[in-house]
Amino acid sequence: MSENNVVQLFRTVRVSRASEDIVQQIRSNIFAGKLAPGDRLPSEKELAEQFGLSRVTVRDALRVLESQGLITIKVGAGGGAFVANPSARPVSAMLTDMLRLQGLSTKELVEARLIIETSIVTLAAERATAEDLDAMQQAIAAARAGRATGDPNFTRHSVDFHAALARAAKNQVLLFTVNSLRTPFYDTLEKLLPDDGMAQRAIEDHQKLLDAVVAHDAAQAAQVMREHLMYFEKRVEKIAT
């Protein structure tokens, strides 16, 4: 949709809830498909005229929308506010912050991941594409190479593997959820590492998971995932005591 076709999408709002109403109107137009990813919003001046408000109020609303991941704001020539492409990051970041503020235990995180990631790996065994399998294989290869050179920071390779596995499930809700749970879980691991035994076990388990997904063996994949997460829970508890 061109900028010229967008100009009549908005109506004037009550000053008492001005910024909130601006946010809601723009959100509604995005969700209704009247504004598509990549569309440029009218300028601040034009929006202020349409809403009947000051540019400062419009700017505040645009910042809220940017923080929600719904728009991106570019500066300079050709800049402005653009409808953002869909992304899991704002949702995952918000949920991660909530989990951290609640002070969840490693046990609670493992329990949640057991429920979610066994479902993910089951779906991945049915839905994984060649691209998904290649991404998982690359993560395992990178972990092996890092361990061979003595690099203690293997956690990032584990994150890459589980992220590829989650994408292979082809379910955005599960992907958002597992990403938010994984961040505080790996924050805990980073404080306890390096541990070569855990690194080796991770590589072995990831290879077993990949093999089960390649074989479309959902039951085996789910069993390996359960054993994988329970092992790490026990190691983390042992090291932490």
CA 124-203-181 angle, to 5 degrees, is: 55
At 167 the pLDDT is 95
- Tokens standing for 11? 């109506």
Go through 29-59 and write b for each residue having 16 or more CB atoms within 10 A of its CB, e for each that does not.
Answer: bbeeeebeeebbbbebebbbbbbebeeebbb
Query: Which of 135-139, 222-226, 229-233 has the lowest average pLDDT?
Result: 229-233
Distance CA 64, CA 201 (A): 44
Give the whole-angstrom CA distance, residue 168 versus residue 160. Answer: 12
pLDDT bucket at 225, cuts 50 / 70 / 90: very high
44-53, 87-96, 202-211, 212-221: least confident range: 87-96
- Range with the lowest mean pLDDT among 105-109, 113-117, 144-148, 202-206? 105-109
Backbone angles phi, psi at 80, to 5 degrees: 135, -170
**Residue 137, burial from CB neighbour count under 10 angstroms (0-12, 13-18, 19+):** middle
pTM: 0.66
Sign of CA dihedral 154, 156, 160, 166: positive
Domains along the sequence of the chain with CATH: 3-83 (1.10.10.10), 89-240 (1.20.120.530)
Q: What is the pLDDT of residues 163-199, one digit of tens each?
A: 999 999 999 889 888 877 776 666 666 665 557 888 8
Q: Is the pLDDT of residue 240 over 60?
A: no
Q: Residue 26 pLDDT > 90, yes or no? A: yes
Please, what is the average pLDDT of the chain? Answer: 84
Helix runs in 12-67, H state only: 18-31, 44-51, 55-67
User: What is the tens place of the pLDDT at every residue in 132-170?
Assistant: 999 999 999 999 998 888 876 777 888 899 999 999 999
Residue 220 one-letter amino acid = Q
Helix (H) or strand (E) holding 218: helix 218-240
Of these ranges, 29-38, 112-121, 130-139, 142-151, the one predicted with the greatest mean pLDDT is 130-139
Q: What percent of the chain has pLDDT over 90?
A: 44
Cis amide linkage into residue 37, ω under 30° from 0? no
Quick check: 71 and 82 in contact, CB under 8 A?
yes
- Residues 45-81 pLDDT 10s: 999 999 998 999 999 999 999 888 889 998 877 889 9
Contact 147, 204 (CB under 8 A): no
Q: What is residue 103's predicted lDDT score, i.e. its pLDDT?
A: 67
Q: Which amino acid is at 170?
A: K
Instruction: Note the pLDDT of residue 90.
Output: 62
Residue 7 has pLDDT above 60, yes or no: no
Contact (Cβ atoms closer than 8 angstroms) between residue 162 and residue 186 = no
